[in-house]
Copies of this chain bind each other. A is one copy, B any other.
Amino acid sequence: MKKLSIVDIANHLNVSKTTISFILNGRAQEKRIGKELVERVQKFVAEVGYKPNSLAKSLRTGKSNIIGLMVEDISNPFFAAIARLIEDRAYKNGYKIIYCSTDNDTNKTRDLISMFRDRHVDGYIIAPPEGIEEDISSLINEGMPVVLFDRHLPKVSTDFVEIDNLFSTYNATRHLVQQGYKNIAYITFASNQTQMQARLQGYKDALAENDLKPYVQEIVFSQNEELIMAPLQAFLKKHKNLDAVFFGTNHVGTCGLKVINSMGLKVPDDLALISFDDYDVFKLFSPPVSAIAQPIEAIADSVITVLLNKLNTSSQHISSQSIILKTDFNIRGSSQAVKKAVLQ
C-alpha cells in the first residue's frame, strides 16, 4: 500500500492534478471551481487520508515550514526550557523545529548554518557565538528572517531578544552592598559575548559607585566540570577575605556550589551567594541561594512572535527591533526584614 500522490487522486476522480492542487490550497473560489467538484475532491482526500508530499512542495515553493534553532547547549536547563517553549509555539503555527547546539564554537556554528541553509529552513533563531557576524549578515542579506536571542552581535543589525543584563547584575550587586558586604567577587566564564560583558559591567558599576574593589575571576568554559571547579576553588582559596560571590551563569553557579560544599563553607555566614539564572538547585540549597531569574516564557514568546511576524510579512523593510526584557531578582536566605527593605 504505497503512499498516494496527487496524480493518484486526480486519476481516481478523473480530474486534473491542477484542479486538485487548487482545491487543496484553498484557491477553489478564486479559480471558480464547481462547488460539487470541490466537495467531491475534499471528501475523497479526507477518506483516503491523502497528504501532499512536503518535500515536493518545498522544492517547488521554496518554503519548508522549518525553523532552525541554534542554542548554545541543549542540555543547559536555560536553553532546554526556551527550546521547549519555542517548539510548542512553532508547532502550533505549523512550523517544525530543527535544532542544534553550537557549543559557542564558531566553526561548528558555521557548519550548522550551512546545513540549515541547505535544508531550506524558513527562518533562524540563534544564540550566536562570537565571530559568526559575517555568516549571519549574509543570511540576512539573502532575505532570511533571523532572530537572535540571549545575546546579540553589535556589528549585525537584526532583531534580537535579550534581558536587561547590566541592570540585573548592577541591581543585585547593589543589594549585596546595601546588606553590608564589602568584598564581593564575580565569577564567570571568559567570554566577550554581549550578555556576559553586560553582566560583568553591571557588577563593576555597582562596586565602583560604592568605592569597593572588584574581584573578578574568568574561567575558561569546558565540558569537563573538573576544569571549571579547579580554578574556581583556587580563586576562593586565594581570596580568603571575600564575604560574597556573584556567579555570572547558572553553570558557574552550580559548579560554585559544589566547590563551596566541598570546602565546607557556610552560606551566607562565610560567604553570601547570588547566581545568575534561577534554578531548582538554588531554591533547594540550604539555605537557598538568591538568584536572578530570566523570564523564560516571555523570552520564548518574544522570539517566536518576532520570527513569525517576519515570516508572514514578506516586506523586508520593517526596521528590526530589539526587545529587552526585565528579570526577577529572587532574594533568598536573608531575613524578612531585609527583604522588605530591599524591595521597598
Contacts and interface: CB of A to CB of B under 8 A. Distances in A.
Interface of A: 51, 53-56, 58-59, 64, 66, 73-77, 80-81, 83-84, 87-88, 91, 96-101, 114-115, 118-120, 254, 257-258, 261, 280-281, 283-286
A120 B114 CA distance: 21
A97 B98 contact: yes
A118 B59 contact: no
Nearest to A90: B100
Interface centre among A59, A84, A119, A280 (most CB of B within 10 A): A280
Count the copies.
Answer: 2
Contacts of A285: 284-286
Nearest to A250: B280
A280 B283 contact: no
Contact of A80 (B54, B66, B75): B75
10 contacts: A54-B118, A55-B55, A55-B119, A55-B120, A59-B59, A76-B80, A84-B101, A88-B101, A261-B284, A281-B281
Contact of A99 (B75, B97, B257, B283): B97
Given A98-B97, A101-B84, A254-B280, A119 B54 contact: yes
Interface centre among A51, A55, A281 (most CB of B within 10 A): A55
Contact of A51 (B53, B76, B118, B257): B118
Interface centre among A54, A74, A258 (most CB of B within 10 A): A74
Given A51-B114, A80-B80, A87-B101, 9 more contacts: A74-B83, A74-B87, A87-B100, A96-B115, A97-B98, A97-B99, A254-B284, A258-B280, A258-B283
A55 B51 contact: no
Nearest to A108: B91
A126 to B, nearest CB: 16
A119 B101 CA distance: 22
Contacts of A64: 55
Contacts of A58: 55
A84 B96 CA distance: 18
A286 B286 contact: yes
A39 to B, nearest CB: 24
B100 A97 contact: yes
* Pairs of residues from A and B, 5 with the lowest C-beta to C-beta distance, nearest first: A75-B84, A80-B80, A75-B80, A55-B59, A75-B81
A284 B255 CA distance: 10
Contacts of A77: 75, 77, 80
A81 B79 CA distance: 12
Contacts of A75: 77, 80-81, 83-84
